[in-house]
Every structure is written in C-alpha cells, then in structure tokens.
C-alpha cells in the first residue's frame, strides 16, 4: 500500500489522475473501518487532510458552498441558520468523535443509502462540485446516487464541495433508530419548505437502494397547497392532505428487510416521519407567516 | 513509512509504519503508549479517544499517515495538559511567577516526569474526580472517557446533565451503568468552578 499525501488540491487531482484506484481518505470514519477489518486493501490511500480549502465553506447569496471535508461538528455549530436540515441531520450522526472527523464529502463518497446527509441534501436542493485534471462539473444531487453505495463520480474525480441552497423556509430531519447516539438509520426523512417557489421537497434515507425523493408525494402536496391557497392563507394543512402525502412518501420507498428493520416497518415509519415533519415545518411556516402578516 | 508527530508535547518518530495502520496502533504498539484502548476498532466505543490538534477523535479511525506533523494528546499526557491549561489561563496555584501565556500553554511539553506512562504526575481534576466518584470499575473505558470529559470541561465549564451525556455519547462503558461517570464529571465541574 502507498500513502499519498498531496499538499494542495491540484496535487490531489494529479495523484488521482495518475492512480485512479487510489482511495481518498478524509475523516477516515468509513475508510478506516474497512481497512481495520480487512474488508478493503487499497493499493493507494490518498490523504485529503492536508488540503485546507476542503475544510472551508462560503455562504453566498442563494447557496452555501460547503467544502467536502467540513466536519459535521462545524456544520452544526456554524451553519444551522443557512442549512437547518443538514445541521439537524449532522447532529444525528454517530458521536462527537465521529462528527469531529467525518463530513459530507465522505458521506457522498460512500453513498450509503443510510447516510444521514443525503435526505437533507435532497430536500434542500444541492449540487455536488466534482473535479479532475480534465475539469470541473456540477452534478445535481438527484443524479448523484446511482446504485447501492454507488455514485456518479468518475475514477479520476474528487469531490471539491457541495453547493446547497440556503434555507428560505423551515426544514426538518427525522431518523428512526434504537437510541439517540451512534445509530445507523433504520430509515430517515428530510423535508424542506421552499416558500418562494411554493414547493416542498423531500429526501428518504435507508428505505431504497439509494437515497431518494418522494416525487409523487411532492407533486401531490405542491398541487394541494396551491389549490387551497395555503401558502398565502397559512391555514393548517387538512389532515386528509397530510395523510395522502404520508402514504405517497411510504409508497416511494423500496426497502429491504435487514438486521435494523423490516421493509414493512420502514415503509410505515417513513409515512409517520413524513406526516410529522410536514406538520412541524408547516406550523413553523404558519408562525412566521402570521408574524409577517401582523407586522 | 515513517511518521513524525508530537505526542503529549514530545516529538515522536514512528518507523516501519504500515500505510493502512491506525493512529491507535502506532500509539500502542510502536510508541508504547497503551493508555488509549483498543476495543472495537470501528469508532463505536470511544475507548481509543485522543485529541488530534485539540479535537477529540477516535484514534482507531485516523490513518497513521494523517497525523504527520500534528499534535496528539493521550490520556498519559492528560494531567500535564490540564495543568498547563490552568496555568495558561492564569489560574495556576504553583509558585511560578507571572501567568503563562496561552501560547506557552499551547506549546507545552511534559517535563520531569515520564510522559510515556503519565506516572509521577499529579492527576488532572477530571482523573481525580473519576477516582473520588467511583467511576472506574474495570477501567477499560476510562482513558477515552477522561479525554472526552476533559475536553468538554475545557469548552463548557458549567455543563448541564444533557451536555455531559451528549459529550460522552461516543464512549461506551460496560461496567458502571454511567451514573458514577455522570457524578464524576459533575464533581470535576464543581471543583473547577470552585477553583476559579
Ligand atoms: C461508529 C460509526 C458510526 C457512524 N454513524 C453514522 C451515522 O449515524 N450516519 C451516517 O450518515 N454515517 C455514519 N457513519 C459513517 C461515516 O461517519 C460517514 O459516512 C461520514 O460522513 C464519512 O466521512 P469521512 O470524512 O470520515 O469519510 P472517509 O471515511 O474519509 O471517506 C468515505 C468515502 O468517501 C470517499 N471520499 C472522501 N472524501 C472524498 C472526496 N473529497 N472526493 C471523493 N471521494 C471522497 C472515500 O474514498 C471513501 O470511499 C458512522 C461511522 C462510524 C465509524
Ligand atoms: S477502539 Fe476506537 S472507537 Fe472503539
Ligand atoms: S469501567 Fe469497565 S467498561 Fe467502563
């Protein structure tokens, strides 16, 4: 095994081009488990810790450019206002020690259906900025997950950053597990309200081969909210609408039975989380809408 | 490969390190620092917790090559680290005249005693509190808990119970049932605030 230690982003891209089988290592919280247990013996490890800019984030007008290696702890501490869904999701990852090392770049690299960043990214709307010596491109998050633990990266590409839409409305993240810390999701659900476009977006984790959006549920809800004038009148969402939304979210799942839970439990739980996160975010939206109306 | 880094304030050089080796392995098997424990090797138990450039991490999940040129504090150096911190913030009750600057504290190194074992130094407040509160049974989880608890008290001198639980949520103990550990951290926090 060789340990490659590029000192700059350009060097990292060059190393990855020269050794496309090199396994990048950022926080190491996925990679090292595999190496410790001999599940993986890469020819090359490509250390990204020396590349300072991967730990930086920039808050722009409409989006946040989040460096691939920004640890979950920093997201929780610094980006709660801009990225509330991702900050909530980050807080549910593992433990403080893991959150101090692991980040969204590694979560996307692993592309596990159970990765907690994914539902939040899908719901908020995001693009993954990837680069190789051939150039840079942005992959819409909806196109990023291509299969179980597979993503759209080419062999010579590295993730530079994730561009995530800044929240312009309430966001929620919900996760089912056996305890509060150190839990891989049985299933998870992210939801974001986008008042300016009058849309709701969702993200489902651990209930299909890849993280997915519940698109039919979103379309149904967007139409129902529009039709009832809900965005303007700020009324409570009709229980029948919430139920239909929840059912459609459950139907968007394609889960399996495994040690963490059964397929039918996952489908059920996703429906419950969909209804709850919709209620929480909508109540919060109504609250702010009412304040603005009164002001 | 060779890895050069600082452990408990002293420069260390580890040779013949395998590229896939963890920091935990280097500490225990190459540098003779067995304080950080190896229980799960997968980040679940926290018994291998050390500070890497000040940040608590599971040393079993840090690749040895990633620590080149960086600073690690293990439980063996915790007492000295805590003492330097207290001195740095001007709360040192030793005879030393003039407060140590924060800079000095950050560049501290263990003197006089053997930083290999941590023996011969007075315990840090959090270590003493663990003993006084009976928070140590088999002791396997203790080093990781001490490093995590000490770092929390550094950041948050007056933690709530929820803060303590959160800060220690990455550390498993199979013996105590955690109540005595909670007591120990509360005790250390109380003593720390009395000392101010
Ligand atoms: C005990 C434990 C509990 C965990 N709990 C959770 C949990 O609750 N929720 C959760 O989502 N995850 C969990 N994880 C998994 C892990 O912490 C996350 O997936 C984390 O986001 C990985 O980030 P990292 O920087 O440590 O990745 P690494 O391990 O460094 O890398 C992960 C993958 O991404 C690739 N990669 C990393 N950076 C880049 C880049 N810039 N460009 C291209 N590829 C890259 C690597 O090659 C590798 O394939 C847990 C892990 C452990 C050990
Ligand atoms: S040995 Fe590292 S967390 Fe268990
Ligand atoms: S005292 Fe035995 S594991 Fe904690």
B142 Cα to the center of ligand 3, angstroms: 7
pLDDT, residue A106, reads 98
The confidence score (pLDDT) of residue B106 equals: 55
Contacts of B93 (CB under 8 A, 6+ apart): none
Q: Cα(A241)–Cα(A244) distance, rounded to whole angstroms?
A: 5
A258 and A144 co-located in one domain: no
Q: Does B89 or A46 have the greater pLDDT score?
A: A46
CB B189 within 8 A of CB B157: yes
**In degrees, to the nearest 5, what angle opens at C-alpha B116 toward C-alphas B110 and B119?**
80
Contact A276, A237 (CB under 8 A): no
Q: Are residues A125 and A10 in the same domain?
A: yes
Band of pLDDT at residue B88, cut at 50, 70 and 90: confident
Query: Residue B139 in contact with residue B176, Cβ under 8 Å?
Result: no
What is the spatial distance between Cα A195 and Cα A231, in angstroms, rounded to a whole number? Answer: 7
In the three-class reduction of DSSP (H, G, I as helix; E, B as strand; rest coil), residue B128 is classed as helix
Domain residue spans of chain B: 3-73, 78-195
Under 8 Å between Cβ of B100 and B87: yes
Find the A95 Cα to ligand 1 centroid distance in Å.
13
Q: Given a cut of 50, is residue B113 above it in pLDDT?
A: no
Q: Do A103 and A229 belong to one domain?
A: no
Angle at B80 between CA A71 and CA B77, to 5 degrees: 55
What's the pLDDT at A234?
A: 93
Alpha-carbon B96 to chain mean position: 24
Distance CA B192, CA A152 (A): 52
Which residues, in sequence order, are CB contacts of B169 under 8 Å at separation 6+? A95, A96, A180, A181, A182
Average pLDDT rounded to a whole number, residues B110-127: 69
Which token pair is B46? 């926290």
Same domain as A231, residue A209: yes
Total-model pTM? 0.94
Closest CA to A80 of A90, A70, A71: A90
Q: How confident is the model at residue B121 (pLDDT cuts 50, 70, 90)?
A: confident
Of A191, A209, A55, the residue nearest A125 (C-alpha): A191
- Of B20, B58, B166, nearest to A97 by CB-CB distance is B58
Residue nearest to atom 3 of ligand 2 (CA): B43
| Residue A274, domain CATH | 3.30.390.50
Domain boundary among A141, A165, A189: A165
Q: Look at chain A and report how many structural domains it folds into.
A: 2
Angstroms from A91 CA to nearest CA on chain B: 10
Task: Answer yes or no: do A7 and A140 share one domain.
Answer: yes
The answer to whether A11 touches A33, Cβ cutoff 8 Å, is no
What pLDDT is attached to residue A291? Answer: 61
- Please give the full DSSP string across A194-218, using - where no structure is assigned: ETTTTEEEEEEESSSSS-B--HHHH
Which ipTM did the prediction report?
Answer: 0.94
Confidence (pLDDT) at B87: 85
> What digits encode the pLDDT tens for the residues A96-119?
999 999 999 999 999 999 999 999
Look up residue B44 and give its two tokens: 């679940």
Q: To the nearest whole angstrom, how far is the Cα of B68 from the nearest Cα of chain A? A: 10
Q: How far apart are CA A200 and CA B130, in angstroms?
A: 50
Whether residue A152 is found in the same domain as residue A52: yes
Query: CA–CA separation, B21 vs A28, rounded Å?
Result: 12
- Tell me whether residues A100 and B57 touch, CB distance under 8 A: yes
For the record, the structure tokens of A153 come out as 């990266």
Distance CA A251, CA A262 (A): 15
- pLDDT per residue as tens digits for the range B18-43: 999 999 999 999 999 999 999 999 99
CATH 3.20.20.100 fits B3-73, yes or no: no
CA distance A99 to A29: 9
The chain-wide mean pLDDT, for chain B, equals: 90
User: Ligand 3, atom 4: nearest CA belongs to which residue?
Assistant: B173
Domain match, A222 and A156 both: no
- Test B46 with A49 for CB contact under 8 angstroms: no
Backbone angles phi, psi at A17, to 5 degrees: -70, -40
| Overall CATH class of domain B78-195 | mainly alpha
pLDDT value, residue B104: 55
- Residue B61 distance to chain A (closest CA, Å): 5
Q: Tens digit of pLDDT for each residue in B175-190?
A: 999 999 999 999 999 9
Helices and strands of chain A, counted as H and E runs = 12, 13
Low-confidence ranges of chain A (pLDDT < 50): 294-295
- Which pLDDT value is given to residue B117? 60
CA distances from A228 to A55, A191, A241, A264 (A): 44, 20, 11, 32
Q: Are residues A147 and A39 in the same domain?
A: yes
Task: Write out pLDDT tens, residues B145-154.
Answer: 999 999 999 9
Pair (A101, A204) in one structural domain = no
- Of all ligands present, the nearest one to the C-alpha of B59 is 2
Q: Which residues of chain B have a CB within 8 Å of the CB of A97?
A: 43, 46, 49, 56-58, 148, 170
> Which of B22, B25, B35, B45 should be mutated for ligand 2, with most atoms under 8 A from CB?
B45
């Amino acid at each position: 095994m060789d340990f490659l230690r590029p000192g700059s982003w350009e060097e990292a891209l060059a190393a990855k081009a020269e050794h496309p089988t090199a396994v990048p290592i950022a926080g190491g919280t996925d990679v090292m488990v595999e190496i410790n247990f001999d599940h993986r013996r890469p020819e090359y490890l490509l250390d990204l810790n020396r590349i300072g800019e991967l730990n930086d984030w920039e808050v722009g007008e409409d989006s946040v450019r989040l460096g691939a290696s920004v640890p979950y702890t920093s997201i929780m501490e610094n980006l709660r206002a801009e990225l509330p869904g991702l900050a909530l999701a980050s807080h549910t990852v593992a433990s403080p020690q893991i959150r101090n090392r692991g980040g969204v770049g590694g979560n996307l690299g692993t592309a596990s259906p159970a990765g907690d960043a994914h539902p939040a990214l899908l719901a908020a709307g995001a693009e993954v900025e990837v680069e190789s010596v051939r150039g840079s491109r942005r992959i819409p998050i909806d196109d990023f997950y291509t299969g179980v633990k597979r993503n759209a990266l080419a062999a010579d590409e590295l993730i530079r950053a994730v561009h995530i839409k800044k929240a312009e409305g309430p966001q929620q993240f919900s996760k089912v597990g056996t305890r509060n810390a150190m839990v891989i999701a049985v299933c998870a659900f992210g939801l974001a309200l986008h008042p300016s476009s009058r849309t709701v977006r969702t993200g489902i984790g651990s209930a299909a081969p890849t993280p997915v959006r519940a698109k039919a549920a979103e379309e149904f809800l967007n139409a129902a909210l529009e039709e009832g004038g809900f965005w303007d009148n700020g009324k409570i969402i009709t229980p029948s609408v919430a139920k239909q939304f929840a059912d459609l979210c459950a139907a968007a799942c394609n889960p399996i039975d495994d040690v963490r839970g059964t397929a039918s439990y996952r489908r059920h739980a996703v429906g419950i989380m969909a209804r709850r996160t919709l209620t929480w975010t909508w109540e919060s939206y109504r609250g702010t809408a009412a304040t603005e109306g009164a002001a | 490969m060779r890895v050069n880094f600082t452990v408990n304030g002293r420069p260390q050089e580890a040779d013949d390190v395998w590229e896939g080796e963890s920091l935990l392995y280097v500490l225990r098997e190459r540098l003779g620092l067995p304080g950080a424990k190896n229980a799960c090797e997968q980040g679940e138990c926290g018994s291998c917790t050390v500070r890497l450039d000040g940040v608590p991490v599971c040393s079993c999940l840090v690749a040895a090559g990633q620590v080149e040129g960086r600073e690690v504090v293990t439980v063996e150096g915790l007492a000295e680290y805590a003492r330097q911190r207290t001195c740095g913030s001007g709360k040192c009750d030793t005879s030393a005249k003039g407060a140590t600057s924060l800079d000095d504290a950050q560049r501290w190194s263990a003197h006089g005693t053997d930083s290999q074992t941590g023996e011969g130094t007075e315990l840090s407040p959090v270590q003493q509190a663990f003993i006084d509160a009976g928070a140590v049974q088999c002791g396997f989880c203790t080093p990781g808990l001490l490093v995590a608890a000490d770092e929390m008290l550094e950041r948050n001198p007056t933690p709530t119970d929820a803060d303590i639980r959160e800060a220690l949520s990455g550390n498993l103990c199979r013996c105590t049932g955690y109540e005595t550990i909670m007591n120990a951290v509360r005790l250390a926090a109380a003593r720390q605030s009395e000392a101010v």
